[in-house]
A and B are shown apart, each in its own frame.
Chain A
């Protein structure tokens, strides 16, 4: 069972470089999320997608863009990376509704120098 798969696992960027974090789930979930986790701050929502074709801003969207390519895939793009974007990024997915748990990927550890 693959669940939620994130790539890459690690990435080092220089300030101003761009990159895309990939996320795919094989559980037929309709809702997908991107979070960042920083020490002492918990997980903060960057963007989410309630269904294929829709995306919405979360708590900390500045500096990021997302694409819900299809039902399986939800990518996060950093157009011009900044040191403040050094963090661990997690993708999650779930079915809309009260009974469905959240499932997380293993994270991408990003360092911007």
Chain B
């Protein structure tokens, strides 16, 4: 059974700092890994998707990496802003199977 763990559960950083969110998974037989952000009381917004054959994906200030052999993915946020404050979810997808992490709650302090 796939398990997805996100560390830390919560993170508070000053504005402008670069930061890394971590995601680990137990079953490396995944199709892809997707990062979402969720604002309080809102739905999930997709940030990046990394296919199993890829090592990383970039979108603006965000960079996600994938290392299947070690069962790890990271989400790097450069020059953090208060608007980045949200919960970030890591989701692994295998055949007919989608597994969610509980998320990392990020607070960027102005």
Contacts and interface: CB of A to CB of B under 8 A. Distances in A.
Partners in one complex: yes
A87 interface: no
A101 B46 contact: yes
Interface residues of B, number: 22
Interface in A82-111: 90, 92, 97-99, 101-107, 109
B23 interface: no
A40 interface: yes
Please tell me the size bucket of the interface on A.
20 to 34
Given A42-B100, A50-B96, A99 B43 contact: no
A102 B46 contact: yes
A77 B67 CA distance: 40
Nearest to A103: B46
A76 to B, nearest CB: 16
A2 interface: no
Contacts of A106: 42-43
Chain B binding site: helix, strand, loop or mixed by DSSP?
Answer: strand
Nearest to A42: B102
B81 interface: no
A101 B98 CA distance: 11
Interface hub of A97, A102, A109 (most chain B Cβ within 10 A): A102
Contact of A98 (B31, B43, B101, B103): B31
A98 B46 contact: no
Interface in A11-46: 33, 40-43, 45
B49 A101 contact: yes
Interface of B: 31-32, 34, 36, 41-46, 49, 51-52, 89, 91, 93, 96, 98, 100-103
